[in-house]
Amino acid sequence: SVAYLNGHYVDLEQAKVPVLDRGFLFGDGIYEVIPVYAGNPFRLTSHINRLRKSLAAIYMSLPQSDDELKTIIGTLIEKNPYDNASVYLQITRGVYVERHHDFPEQGEATVFAMISPLPPVQKLSQATEIKGYSVITAEDIRWQRCDIKAITLLANCMLKQKALESGADDTILVRNGEASEATSSNLFIVRDGVIITPPLSEHLLAGVTREFILLLANQHGIPYEERPIPEHELELADEIWLTSSTKEIRPVVKVNDVTIGSGQPGSVWRQMYEYYQVLKE
Ligand code: PDD
């Protein structure tokens, strides 16, 4: 496929970044993942705003304007044949001759973007075919700034792998006894018809999908709360969902071998999934 690297549109498999890039040496960079439906980026402005926040948090600024970033994304969509896709946009501090920890005076950032296909849109009638996830819980071993969408994802990868090795699909992360999010998605539970998600903090990412679901809840008069979720409350939930730009709203039907609700995706999930599908079109 066609990717973007530092001003050029290139063959993805040929694209190369120098070993002295601080992204390679230090994981010094940030990223975004933007879903594309029927050729249109979804909630693009929210993604660009979060990108700017991540950049500011690591003391970086970019010469490219929001419009220029949007043009890169639009061009990748045009140059590739996917209807439904996700765009991965990564920005690192760039290439510096000396390896030292302090941030060098800013030179040219490395700006990279690629696009990959997403599975075709599941129609409302197929919603029942969406597989509920089985998850485990584990101590969150990541750092204290999970609000930054940093490219340093080794802990996330380890925690995801831990789930797969115990026959589950993902891991819900627990810090100070509270469930915060999963390895690459936000967490919601439903109790007695009320949607509950942990409040924004430095322990989780401010998901664009999370924000959108709260907006939908608001629009449709579904009650919701942003409050901490103690780990033990997971098993008591009627429903659990994991949400992200690529997973949309994924129902969870098992936590540490305890069945959630009826063991099937729940009715509030179904309703929210339908609202989501309608609006993303
Ligand atoms: N991950 N929490 C974490 C740790 C994430 O990595 C993600 C997204 C989310 C959900 O954010 P959003 O709704 O804006 O996609 C929450 C992306 C998809 C990824 O790493 O591939």
* pLDDT tens digit sequence for 95-122: 999 999 999 999 999 999 999 999 876 6
Q: Nearest residue CA, atom 19 of ligand 1?
A: 184
Catalytic option among 149, 160, 247, 254 = 149
* pLDDT tens digit sequence for 18-73: 999 999 999 999 999 999 999 999 999 999 999 999 999 999 999 999 999 999 99
Q: Within the chain, what is the greatest distance between any pair of CA atoms?
A: 58
Query: How remote is the CA of residue 134 from the centroid of ligand 1, in Å?
Result: 18
Report all structural domains of the chain as residue ranges with CATH numbers, in order of start.
Answer: 2-119 (3.30.470.10), 125-279 (3.20.10.10)
Q: State yes or no: ipTM above 0.95.
A: yes
- Residue 280 a catalytic site member: no
User: In whole angstroms, what is the distance from residue 156 CA to residue 142 CA?
Assistant: 7
Query: How remote is the CA of residue 108 from the centroid of ligand 1, in Å?
Result: 26
Q: What is the pTM of this model?
A: 0.97
